[in-house]
Structure 1
Amino acid sequence: MSNMMTEIMAFLLTISGWVLTASTVATDYWKVSSVDGTVITTATFWSNLWKTCVTDSTGVSNCKDFPSMLALDGYIQVCRGLMIAAVCLGFFGATLALVGMKCTKIGGSETTKARIASVAGFNFILNGLCSLAACSLYAHRITSEFFDPLFVAQKFELGAALFIGWGGSVLCILGGLIFCLSLTEGLSLRHAERSYNRDASFISIHQRHNPSTNLQKDPQDQGGTSRQFGRNAYV
């Protein structure tokens, strides 16, 4: 029961992390910068992996999609690939986790389910690492430009999407590590089954080659039984 509850907790952690990671892809505020003019005029610049926008004080936003993938900066292309890979790995990990969990009725034997759960754990760990690498790379670019005194263009700060992505990555990695422990448990169970089968086969072979061992009795017991039978024969 405790192992089942542990797997359920790991499943909840990984699914929550995967949802956060997937929502980060479509979140707007990967980087944010505010420009204050007069008391009335205030503009907010923000960007994500797909577009860059500006919002004025009235709430009107003007956005511009990135025109060409080949014309993008290298770090944006890498972040796109890592985030899409993270979402796909999380999807396959969730499917395998449903099959490999002990509380489900599919997946085969306990050893097979443990292996499937461990594969799901590796998928979630890779999911968390991909998302963590993408958010960290994007944040490194923002911070390096912000603290560079020779960078004269618009400077940005870390957006909310990066923190959401980091949180989802941590949840996926923790849940994936818990799922990977199912592999150790499955291997130990399989080793115990093999040991039991080997001992049982050894005993059966020994009994087949030495059938007289089960029929032999102690001579003292036989003599005592005959004497006892002789004393009580005519009672």
Structure 2
Amino acid sequence: MRKQLVQILGFLTSSLGWTFVLCTMAMDYWRITQLGGQGGSFIIKVAWYWSNLWKDCFTDSTAITNCRDFPVLWSVTPFVQGVRGLLMCGLTLGFFAVVLSFLGMECTFIGGGDKTKDKMLFSGAVFHVAGGVSNIAGYCLYINRVARTTFSASLEPGILRYDLGPPIFLGLVGCFLILLGAIFYAVTVFRVICPESKVVYAYGGGTYMVPRSRGRTYTGYYKPSWQNGSYQGSGPSNSSKISKLSQTIPTKMSERDAFV
């Protein structure tokens, strides 16, 4: 039950983060700057310049907005094109991650057996991590471009100093949620995907380490030679129980007993 709850929490968290990133693609005010302001208690002149991934806009004090859409695909500003590509790649990976995670959850009745579902869930976590890293790279590229202009000592005429808008912060929160959900997924299936080797103790301190070979385990007894023991293995099996010895240890007869 605890495993199911953690997986459900991971699914809700990662899906919410993926939705946040998707919403930022269509939001306005990725970067914004204000011209003018207040003089005393009267507004002298104010205007806002703002941009997103698809257009540049100007809004005056009368709430009239004029926008200029970015040109065709191959003539867009390079950094904007790079942000678009990284975010779209991250969203695509996130979509496949959501599907794999949903099929691999223990509470769903589709996706195959338990081992298959665990592998699918682990694959979904990997896709979420890759998509989250791609999204973070896209936002960081945009932030770097805005910061370089904002903190520059001297700017050419006509270049404005922009501030970061709400979509950037919403997208970063979404990336954090995606990575957090992937961690929840990985915690529930990591032990199943990567099991640890076990050590079996038998007969006076003799040890035998169970090897891992393509998902199978080999169990058996090991008895030190100084105890006149023998080794008997049970062969490849899916059970972790130790088989019992089917042979008894022969004892040597003394000459007197043989004579009698």
What aligned pairs does 1:162-201 form with structure 2 within 5 A after superposition?
162-187=168-193, 194-195=216-217, 197=237
176-185 or 48-57, larger mean C-alpha shift: 176-185
99-108 or 144-153, larger mean C-alpha shift: 144-153
- The residue that corresponds to 2:125 in the other structure is 121
Q: Compared with structure 1, are the counterparts of its residues 32 and 202 closer, same or farther at alpha carbon in structure 2 (3 Å cutoff)?
A: same
Kindly report the root-mean-square deviation, in angstroms, between the aligned alpha carbons of the 2 structures.
2.5
What aligned pairs does 1:145-224 form with structure 2 within 5 A after superposition?
145-152=149-156, 153-187=159-193, 194-195=216-217, 197=237, 203=243
In the alignment, the residues of structure 2 paired with residue 51 and residue 59 of structure 1 have an alpha-carbon distance, to the nearest angstrom, of 17
Cα contact 1:117–1:182 (8 A) shared by 2: no
Cα deviation code 1:208-230 (max 9, x no counterpart): xx6xx8xxxxxxxxxxxxxxxxx
Q: How far does residue 174 in structure 1 lie from its aligned partner after superposition?
A: 1.0
Cα deviation code 1:189-222 (max 9, x no counterpart): 7989844835589849x76xx6xx8xxxxxxxxx
- The residue that corresponds to 2:108 in the other structure is 104
Q: Compared with structure 1, are the counterparts of its residues 41 and 185 closer, same or farther at alpha carbon in structure 2 (3 Å cutoff)?
A: same
Same amino acid, percent of matched pairs = 31
TM-score of the aligned structures, taking structure 2 as reference length: 0.73
41-50 or 181-190, larger mean C-alpha shift: 181-190
Cα contact 1:110–1:186 (8 A) shared by 2: no
- Residue 90 in 1 paired to residue 94 in 2? yes
- The residue that corresponds to 1:7 in the other structure is 7
Cα contact 1:40–1:57 (8 A) shared by 2: no
List gaps (5 residues or longer) in structure 1: 214-235
List gaps (5 residues or longer) in structure 2: 199-214, 220-236, 249-260
Q: Compared with structure 1, are the counterparts of its residues 200 and 111 closer, same or farther at alpha carbon in structure 2 (3 Å cutoff)?
A: closer
Cα deviation code 1:23-50 (max 9, x no counterpart): 0111111100111167253211110111
Aligned residues: 208
Q: Give the alignment partner of residue 139 of structure 1, picking from 140, 143, 153.
A: 143
In the alignment, the residues of structure 2 paired with residue 21 and residue 97 of structure 1 have an alpha-carbon distance, to the nearest angstrom, of 18
Dislocated runs of 4+, deviation >3 Å: 188-196, 198-204
- The residue that corresponds to 1:229 in the other structure is none
Structure 1: which amino acid aligns with 2:163? E
Q: Compared with structure 1, are the counterparts of its residues 142 and 179 closer, same or farther at alpha carbon in structure 2 (3 Å cutoff)?
A: same
Higher-helix-fraction structure: 1
Q: Compared with structure 1, are the counterparts of its residues 56 and 128 closer, same or farther at alpha carbon in structure 2 (3 Å cutoff)?
A: same
What aligned pairs does 1:14-53 form with structure 2 within 5 A after superposition?
14-36=14-36, 39-53=43-57
